[in-house]
Amino acid sequence: MKRRSFLTASLGAIAAGSCAWPRHAPVHTGVALAFGTTIQIALVHADEQVARTAIADALAAAQRVDHLMSIYRPGSQVYQLNRDGVLHQPDPHLLAVLAQARALSQLTRGAFDITVQPLWRAWNEALARGVLPAPAQRRQARARVDWRQVAFDARRVTLAPGMAITLNGLAQGYAADMALAAVQAHGVRHALLDTGEFVARGRKRAHQPWTLGVRDPRREQALAATLFINGCGVATSGDYASSFTPDHLHHHIFDPAAGDSPQELASVTVMAPTGMLADGLSTAFMVLGREKAALLAASLAGVDLLAIDKQGREWRSAGFAPQAA
């Protein structure tokens, strides 16, 4: 899993200004490696020892999710499942993410589907040869995509022959949620957690919320929006993070029904009650397109979105103000 660098937060700047919120409760930060990149945590607490313990526990919680759900680590349960087609004694955390995946697949009528991994493999292998996959290769990969063929309970997880899953559309958000739970267990009320997706609670200073910048999908150094967040998760999916073609028409997000990338949107940013839900919905909304995504977001409590199409046009839901959330 590789971090999708669509959202930015100045954690170093937060630490530099820690005396402002308030003096007896400075900002503490920590970093670690997970999901193929650096994950970060900033929190506000008066007791430095408590803060340091909370940071260590939070980073460890996020790393456990990575070690459990990576498609690349031979020791991960997802790797073993994809290799063997069956996994005995699945970890409760894996079961929680699989349950969320199933719920999102049902909610979006299959627009969200963790079994798109065969499509990724087909496109990635073709890219290594400098070509696009032939129609027959696409059809063959598409035939192995069907979220309904993933069966799981507390004893085992099974896949149909030839299938494979990826939890890249949920695991980083779930890791942020688990890291948040870890810091809250130490009584920390103000924290920003960055695992590639974000969750935030409280504020970074007495009168200043945690602030995120949403990258413009076509200008790497420009921002499409600035968010002031508290009590929610934030995730962005875009066509530019891992493209198979320079025009971004073919990229790492797949429409399971088409066996190719969705063509309308360049990026979607979602705010939701949890990091995992924001993570999954950002992928699903890319596949659904603006109109269907907006209708679905309006039906879900606490969910807002910013959608930007390939021509640079923007649509924001009611809770997604022009410069702040």
Cα–Cα distance list, 171 to 63, 78, 196, 206, 315 (Å):
11, 11, 10, 32, 27
User: Annotated binding residue at 38?
Assistant: no
User: Annotated binding residue at 169?
Assistant: yes
Cα torsion at 105, 109, 114, 118 (round to 10°)?
160
Helix/strand/coil for 169: coil
Q: Which residues are paired to 190 by β-bridges? A: 44
End-to-end CA distance of the chain: 28
How many angstroms separate the CA atoms of 165 and 107, rounded?
A: 19
CA angle in degrees (0–180, nearest 5) for 144-281-186: 115
Cα–Cα distance list, 139 to 91, 143, 144, 271 (Å):
33, 6, 9, 34
Q: Which residues contribute to the annotated binding site?
A: 169, 279, 283
Q: Which residues contribute to the annotated binding site for Mg(2+)?
A: 169, 279, 283
